[in-house]
Amino acid sequence: MEGQAGPQAGDRLARVFLTRVVEPGDEVGGRWVRELGAAEVVRRLRSDEGMLPGVSARRWGGLTARAAPADPERDLAVAAEAGVRFVCPGDTEWPGPLDDLGDARPLGLWVRGRPSLRMWALRSVAVVGARACTAYGAHMAATLAAGLAERGWVVVSGGAYGVDGAAHRGALGAGGATVAVLACGVDRPYPRGHTELINRIAEQGLVVGELPPGDHPTPHRFVLRNRVIAALTRGTVVVEAAYRSGSLVTARAARRLGRHTMGVPGPATSALSAGVHEILRGEEAVLVTDAAEVVELVGDMGELAPDRRGPVLPRDLLEPGARRVLAALPGDRPAAAGEVAREAGTTADDAIARLYELRALGYVERLGDGWKLTRQAMVSVRAGRSPR
């Protein structure tokens, strides 16, 4: 890749070769690359010098069989034709947070789209969840993503049906940035039903994957893809997830990596929220309900969510002493000033003064020697009175 700063051409080409041979997240292969260098690993796979350590003869045979037809120059040419570039460790565009994966770090990433992956990863949040999500889950994912996008955050997800798709659409609909991390070649969108969405993401954002052009997804690759989503972002939000949901894998990977892990609660009766509730109960995640609460966790110091409180009642504007006297009045009968004073914990003179003040404000009326709440005051007092 001419003009691209970073590793030498030989190392880059070797890493492209290895993306065709070594499965994503293979820690043994990652250790070989770390200890020997990518070019030396490729040389050994192509030679007859014998196995590298840490694998069985059967597995080594599978790797060499894959290595035989691998053609990194062809993969780069196919990628370039599809508008895809290869980014690897040492490039200026390489996101440093991925290095936290250690030997499970991607050998490189195939990237489709114009923005810088490294820059976008600096201020990104993953929004993941169930594929067969409910209308509630889709709504929450889209609303969260839109709110994050409006606050300048990049929304990262997996491009799948359900919560993933809703999150991507929410960010795009708000005119924001989004990244789809795929478990297949980025030149062949998957699932097929999301071809239009993934192409739109590539035009307005980024589509990223570990697998070379044309490669297909497998269940195992979906699971391993989740570690990239977790490592790439500042935090992961799980919107809906059953007990065995893959999105819980992403959340737990995020927690292991020291990222913020968050969950959106759902109905107690919903099986699709059971997994989220489990990680919330186990204190593996923090409960969030909107974008402001997410940003409070993952953002810079001072980016606080607004205080949550109910509506302000007229009685809330009274001075504390007047509120105590008002609360001391029984709702079903008049009461003498002395009784009110005892209930409010004040003197009779103070109670009388407060009662006249409350009468002027329309809260109480005098009936003979007693005082009684007015009809319009009843709702206010009952709404604010604590049980005795």
Residue 143 in this model has a pLDDT that exceeds 90:
yes
**pLDDT given at position 6:** 61
Residue 317 in this model has a pLDDT that exceeds 80:
no
Joined together, the tokens standing for residue 313 give 């009642």
Q: Which of 158-162, 181-185, 212-216, 301-305 has the lowest mean pLDDT?
A: 301-305
**pLDDT given at position 323:** 87
Amino acid at 365: E
Higher pLDDT, 310 or 132: 132
The model's pLDDT over 40-87, given as tens digits with 9 standing for 90+, comes to 999 999 998 889 999 999 999 999 999 999 999 999 999 999 999 999
C-alpha triplet 211, 214, 215: angle, nearest 5°: 45
Task: Identify whether the C-beta of residue 179 lies closer than 8 Å to the C-beta of residue 154.
Answer: yes
pTM for the whole thing? 0.79
The model's pLDDT over 254-294, given as tens digits with 9 standing for 90+, comes to 999 999 999 999 999 999 999 999 999 999 999 999 999 99
Work out the pLDDT band at 386, boundaries 50, 70, 90: very low
* Mean predicted confidence (pLDDT) in 305-313: 60
Cα-Cα-Cα-Cα dihedral sign, residues 197, 285, 222, 156:
positive
Residue 314 in this model has a pLDDT that exceeds 70:
no
Residue 5 in this model has a pLDDT that exceeds 50:
no
Joined together, the tokens standing for residue 58 give 């059967």
To the nearest whole percent, how much of the chain has pLDDT over 70? 91
Cα–Cα distance measured from residue 324 to residue 59, given in angstroms and rounded to the nearest whole number? 78
* Domains of the chain with CATH codes: 97-298 (3.40.50.450), 314-384 (1.10.10.10)
Q: E strands along the chain, which residues?
A: 84-87, 109-112, 124-128, 154-157, 178-182, 206-209, 235-238, 260-263, 286-287, 335-336, 364-367, 370-373
Alpha-carbon distances, residue 210 vs 16, 179, 376 (angstroms): 10, 14, 66
**pLDDT given at position 301:** 47
Task: Identify whether the C-beta of residue 146 lies closer than 8 Å to the C-beta of residue 171.
Answer: yes
Query: In the predicted model, what is the mean pLDDT of the chain?
Result: 91
Task: Identify whether the C-beta of residue 247 lies closer than 8 Å to the C-beta of residue 129.
Answer: yes
